[in-house]
Amino acid sequence: MLSVRDLDVRYGKIQALHGVSLEVHEGETVALLGANGAGKTTTLRALSCMLPSTGEIEFDGSTLTGMPSHDVVGLGLCHVPEGRRVFPLMSVAENLEIGAQRFKSRYPADLQRVYELFPRLREREAQLAGTLSGGEQQMLAMGRALMGRPRLLLLDEPSMGLAPMIVAQIFDIIRVINGQGVTVLLVEQNAAQALEIADRAYVLETGSVSMSGRGRELANDPRVRAAYLGA
Ligand code: ATP
C-alpha cells in the first residue's frame, strides 16, 4: 500500500533523514520506533507531504512526492500529528465535522461510527475541545482523522503524556481500528506496547533505518531490548 524509497529530508543545513526506505502492506499495523530526535516525526510529516522530501513515496499506485498535503488526504492517507492539535475553541462535534469535509453526505453514519469507537466523545460532544483531558483530546484527534475515511492512518505518538490506563485504552482502540480494515503506521516511544500490536516494525537511528522485522522478533532482539525496552 505504501512504498518509500531513499527518502531524504533536510531542515536547512541539517539532514534529518538519510535514505529511509520502508513498506506498509494493506491491513498491517507497522510501528516506527526510535529515540528522541531519530527522525520519526519527520518521516510521518514527509509521508503526508507536510515537509518537502526527495526520494520516492508511492501510496496505492500514486506518487506522493511533491503533492499538496490536502490531495494526499483525498487519496485516503490521514495523519494524526504529535500533540493532537485539536481546535481548542471548537466543540467536540465541530472538530469531528471538520474531519468530515470530504464525505459530508455520510457525516451522520460516520459520526455514529466514531462515537461507537469513542463513547467518551459522544458524552462530551458539546464540550470545547481545549477543555478535554489529554486522553480525550487524543481520542478526538483520532476520531477527526477517521471522519475522513482513511485507508492508511499515520499516528504520531498517540500515547504521549497519558496515564497508563488511558494508554492501554488507546492501544486497544488502535487494534480495533486496524481490525475494521484501516492500515496503521504508528510512531511510538512506548516501544513495548507498540511492538505488542505491530505486525512489523522499523527502528530509526539518527535518520536511518537501523533494524526492521516482525513485531515479536524485534521485541526479543537483544539490541532492541537493551535500547528501547529497558531490559
Ligand atoms: P521525538 O521523539 O523527540 O519527537 P523524532 O524521532 O520524532 O523525535 P524528529 O522530530 O523527526 O525526531 O527530528 C529529527 C531531527 O530533525 C532532529 O535532529 C531534530 O532536531 C531535527 N528537526 C526537527 N524539526 C526541525 C526543524 N523544524 N528545524 C530544524 N531541525 C529540525
CATH number at residue 199: 3.40.50.300
Distance CA 14, CA 222 (A): 31
Closest CA to 58 of 72, 45, 74: 72
**Is the domain of 46 the same as that of 58?**
yes
**Is the domain of 67 the same as that of 156?**
yes
Cell of 185: 503506521
Domain hosting residue 127, numbered range: 89-148
Residue 18 in domain: yes
**For the chain, what is the domain count?**
2
**Is the domain of 224 the same as that of 155?**
yes
**Is the domain of 196 the same as that of 178?**
yes
Cβ of 9 less than 6 Å from ligand 1: no
**Is the domain of 110 the same as that of 129?**
yes
pLDDT at 231: 63
Residue 123 in domain: yes
Residue 160 in domain: yes
**Is the domain of 156 the same as that of 221?**
yes
- CB 203, CB 212: distance < 8 Å: yes
**Is the domain of 27 the same as that of 132?**
no
Closest CA to 186 of 211, 214, 155: 155
Closest CA to 211 of 231, 183, 182, 191: 191
**Residue 118 pLDDT greater than 90, yes or no:** yes
Supply φ then ψ for residue 93, to 5 degrees. -65, -40
* CB neighbour burial string for 80-118, b if at least 16 within 10 angstroms, e if fewer: bbbebebeeeebbbebbbebbeeeeeeeeebbebbbebb
Percent of the chain scoring above 90 in pLDDT: 79
Tell which one of 14, 17, 206 to mutate to probe ligand 1, the residue whose CB is within 8 A of the most ligand atoms.
14
**Is the domain of 118 the same as that of 141?**
yes
Cβ of 45 less than 6 Å from ligand 1: no
Residue 81 in domain: no
**Is the domain of 59 the same as that of 172?**
yes
**Residue 43 pLDDT greater than 80, yes or no:** yes
Closest CA to 99 of 121, 68, 67, 119: 121
What's the chain's average pLDDT?
A: 93
DSSP letter for each residue of 126-145:
TSBGGGS-HHHHHHHHHHHH
Q: Whose CA is nearest to atom 2 of ligand 1?
A: 36
**Is the domain of 172 the same as that of 204?**
yes
Distance CA 170, CA 221 (A): 25
CA of 169 to the centre of ligand 1 (A): 28
Cell of 105: 453526505
Residue 84 in domain: no
State pTM to two decimals: 0.93
pLDDT tens digits along 58-109: 999 999 988 988 889 889 999 999 887 899 999 999 999 988 877 777 888 8
- CB 184, CB 155: distance < 8 Å: yes
CB-CB neighbours of 205 under 10 Å: 14
Residues 6+ apart with CB under 8 A from 129: 86, 87, 88, 89, 90, 91, 92, 95, 137, 140
**Is the domain of 158 the same as that of 69?**
yes
CA of 67 to the centre of ligand 1 (A): 22
